[in-house]
Amino acid sequence: MTTARLRLRGWREPDRDELAVLNADPVVMEYFPEPLDRAQSDAVFDKWQRNWSEHGYGFWRAETRADGQLVGIIGLGYATFEASFTPVVEVGWRLAVDYWGHGLATEGASASLRFGFDTTDAESIVAITSAMNVRSQRVMQRLGMDHEPALDFEHPNVPAGHRLQPHVVYRISRTAFHQNCLPT
Ligand SMILES: CC(C)(COP(=O)(O)OP(=O)(O)OC[C@H]1O[C@@H](n2cnc3c(N)ncnc32)[C@H](O)[C@@H]1OP(=O)(O)O)[C@@H](O)C(=O)NCCC(=O)NCCS
């Protein structure tokens, strides 16, 4: 899939190396309990591949259309952790620092939402992040997603009492997306 500036494509085996570098970057991973080591990064890679085969969607490798450089991870996940609103389709993003501040996460996520509403029967798609991750919440707001405070929760996969445990939930309905969708 392409947008004005990005190509979103599936992951290939050789991409594991660059994904591991991104997942090990402490700046990129500031709002995760820890950067991922190689084994954890490979496990995430495997999970995304399973998502594609089991659900028909997943996270893409986002690259520049101009020269194919890795921009980051953008796409859709199937969240199954224990919470009042799961299981649910979620939209997510993780960009290499060099590509922050250019609107690329919003551009790729908008295309991901369109793909999600076109290819699944989900009536809404959520986005989830640590309450501290204001930059990510700004992406959600730019996408036209609404914060749903009633759904905010303590993430069960983050250690109890950790500063990153409180999470916020944003949501966009199929109708709202089609009324407000951004150009991609
Ligand atoms: C969260 C993250 C994806 C946000 O990236 P981002 O580049 O700030 O987000 P966007 O792509 O929406 O870009 C918006 C910024 O680009 C600027 N911008 C520049 N050119 C633009 C354009 N053509 N269109 C839109 N915005 C543009 C905007 O002004 C805005 O800057 P500001 O935040 O300083 O006001 C990025 O910080 C990241 O990957 N963080 C680490 C991983 C992470 O936290 N992931 C989320 C976990 S849930």
Report the CATH number at residue 87.
Answer: 3.40.630.30
Q: Each residue of 63-119: pLDDT tens digit? A: 999 999 999 999 999 999 999 999 999 999 999 999 999 999 999 999 999 999 999
Does some domain include residue 175? Answer: yes
**In Å, how far from its chain's centre is CA 98?**
18
- pTM of the predicted model, to two decimals? 0.96
Q: Each residue of 28-43: pLDDT tens digit? A: 999 999 999 999 999 9
The number of distinct structural domains making up the chain is 1
Distance CA 74, CA 55 (A): 16
Distance 139 CA to ligand 1 centre (A): 6
Burial of 72 (0-12, 13-18, 19+ CB in 10 A): buried
Distance CA 129, CA 92 (A): 9
Distance CA 29, CA 117 (A): 28
Distance 102 CA to ligand 1 centre (A): 6
Atom of ligand 1 nearest to the CA of 27: 41
Cβ–ligand 1 distance for 129 under 6 Å, the answer yes
Q: Check pLDDT > 90 for residue 180.
A: no
What value does the mean pLDDT of the chain take?
A: 96
Distance 173 CA to ligand 1 centre (A): 22
Residue numbers of the domain that contains 11: 6-180
The pairing of beta strand 59-64 with beta strand 88-95: unpaired
Does some domain include residue 149? Answer: yes
